[in-house]
Structure 1
């Protein structure tokens, strides 16, 4: 689930171009141009539940971690990432660097008190570098990660694989044109790794509607649903997901200013011997992008 939420973050980062035509049509290009430097900040608030639906031994095997009653977590995650690109080189590629300036996750209890959650992977201080070709696509084999703290080699390899795959997929999404007052459908296919267990094929069905362009700012509404295809394996998985949101683009500065999305997801895992569990996530994400200023605090 978090991988998919994480994908929305990266998708927002790379949907950085909104080009206004004379016909009040804008073009969404899932690319990032050379010689850019900006900050992306996001806050994701989610309520997650984990519940055993059918017990055939799964509770005993979990050693007390699972019950027939839902276990609920209320989490708030904040991210701050700097994204900058260099000039076009002789081979027509240009460099990209993502610097993870901040990432904190808090657990809220019923009284509203926040407790900092220690993450298995500390991404603060992590850097991702890559090369972008003349078409604006990230070259998967060029993605390199550095700055991960005390990460076991096998986990570092997994992070590298997920980052490379996700970033290259996003910049391969086809350009989309949307016109004022009209709904425009969009289909995006993704492969989302769920840890090191399995890779899920996700089909996103998105309806985009350009509501207005005011002083160069394009306001777009979105509704979307998600289909999940899970390969055959030791367990059966049934998944559903949908959501809606709003986005603002500065068509003059070509900066994706702001977005707010609400997403609902459910996944049910079942094994013949142990039973069936359900994981539900309801999340709200708020995201903003603005130019990087050298003297601003990290």
Structure 2
């Protein structure tokens, strides 16, 4: 299967001061999709500009024609399925059916406490996603939904006319643990990983590939457990969080080598961060554009 290349454009630029241009350039370069983080702020960018994901994607939808758009990823940390479903249906309509929802359990960053709550434990995050995702699936596929849950409920929530994409827009479920992988197998049209975070600081690229191979194998078992062929599930690698860090963006050859090793594991899409000077995602933009336009042909 051919490998698709996509980009993450962090929402750090004012729309009329470079923001629009990046999304349009992503389409010009031939990227399959362009995503953005769905956070209230993020790590080293916390004290600088950071705009909302869904309004940014709505603007991007009106500025592009072909490019798929999405979050990478949304979490329950500050979202509710009822309001999120309404916004996603609106975005899917405005974009003409070009939206993918990346979704996961979230973590302990700024979003976890920004609404004044205590940070959830890993178990509670998993419990919440286990309710959030099935309810969101129902909200995006049924005209009216009533459901009572421990964390999330809906009372005659209406979502007419539904998604442009049928039966709903696709979910790309970020997961590495057993409960998340089961959700990916049941509800995902794609699965997302960033690799094994335990290896980021001191692991080797070889150890990372082995760890990701294990994740792919566990995803396969989760799919087999419900009678689904894992080959039909798209597999997305969000780069920048493996021990390779920024090295794959140092040259076209380095990226082709990196991408080829992961393509052999079954990945169908690799996502690159758009370069941001003086940040964790600093890179040579000329090399980045060369990768965007030439790597896919070399990878086949």
Query: Shared topology, TM-score over 0.5?
Result: no
Structure (1/2) with the larger strand percentage:
1
Higher relative contact order at CA 8 Å, sep ≥6: structure 1 or structure 2?
Answer: 1
Question: Which of structures 1 and 2 has the bigger CA Rg?
Answer: 1
